[in-house]
């Protein structure tokens, strides 16, 4: 098994499908030779992911309307959301790409990683079946789905901040309560959110959760993180 197959715990019967999923279009453009690339598998993988998440959310939120389910699904299949999974399995280390694309940061570019993850899903689907892919996808997306269950509202600053930051680094943002004032029945909490040792924002609220949400919203407004 290749290192990537070991990480995803799936052995491809047709290794060419895996190779195709990991081939960036820049390789063919740079060498001026005909190479297959992952664009067709990306198209297929996107559809497979949409189906898996649509059915899972349909069962998970029986009282939600079509519009609400669509918004929840968009959070799971967004570029930021898919990039979290791509980073988690280290797919960027295995993509075959042109030297120019690699030197310009292509191996860590969120769009490249998200596309490669979709292509991998398409390849797994062709190599196995929908149930096998469903098991893998829902396992990888467990944290994201749990976040939807705990905070399913359209406005979810903490979830959005987490998606953005984990598209850059696997480390999660850290929230801390820096102060609390007022009588017991009317406390005011101030929270600070930091990431990789850098303060990103702060906010206040009548509960710790409210303060953390306000801090995440402040961080999104300031956008102080830097893409490496």
Q: Which residues are catalytic?
A: 46, 118
* Cα 186 from Cα 205, distance rounded (Å): 10
Q: Calculate helix-pair angle for 157-166, 208-222, nearest 10 degrees.
A: 50
* Cα 37 from Cα 98, distance rounded (Å): 12
Q: Nearest-5° angle of CA 51, CA 17, CA 110?
A: 65
Tokens, residue 114: 């998200």
* Cα 47 from Cα 39, distance rounded (Å): 13
The residues, any chain, with a CB within 8 Å of residue 74's CB and separated by 6 or more, are: none
* Cα 119 from Cα 44, distance rounded (Å): 7
Which contacts (CB < 8 Å, 24+ apart) does range 50-53 have?
A: 50/77, 51/130, 52/130, 52/133, 52/134, 52/137, 52/138, 53/77, 53/137, 53/141
SS3 state of residue 188: strand
């Amino acid at each position: 098994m290749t290192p990537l197959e070991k990480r995803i715990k799936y052995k491809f019967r047709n290794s060419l499908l895996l190779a195709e999923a990991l081939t960036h279009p820049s390789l063919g453009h740079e060498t001026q030779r005909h190479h297959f690339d992952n664009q067709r598998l990306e198209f297929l993988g996107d559809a497979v992911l949409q189906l898996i998440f649509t059915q899972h959310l349909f069962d998970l939120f029986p009282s939600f309307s079509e519009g609400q389910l669509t918004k929840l699904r968009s959070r799971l299949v967004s570029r930021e959301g898919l990039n979290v999974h791509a980073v988690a399995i280290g797919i960027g280390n295995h993509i075959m790409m042109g030297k120019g694309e690699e030197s310009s940061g292509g191996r860590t570019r969120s769009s490249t990683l998200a596309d490669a993850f979709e292509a991998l899903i398409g390849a797994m689907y062709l190599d196995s079946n929908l149930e096998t892919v469903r098991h893998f996808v829902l396992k990888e997306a467990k944290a994201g789905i749990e976040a939807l269950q705990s905070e399913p509202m359209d406005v979810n600053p903490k979830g959005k901040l987490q998606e953005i930051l984990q598209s850059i680094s696997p480390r999660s943002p850290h929230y801390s309560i820096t102060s609390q004032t007022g009588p017991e029945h009317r406390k005011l909490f101030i929270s600070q959110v930091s990431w990789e040792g850098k303060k990103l924002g702060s906010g206040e609220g009548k509960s710790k959760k409210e303060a953390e949400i306000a801090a995440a919203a402040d961080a999104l407004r300031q956008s102080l993180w830097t893409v490496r």
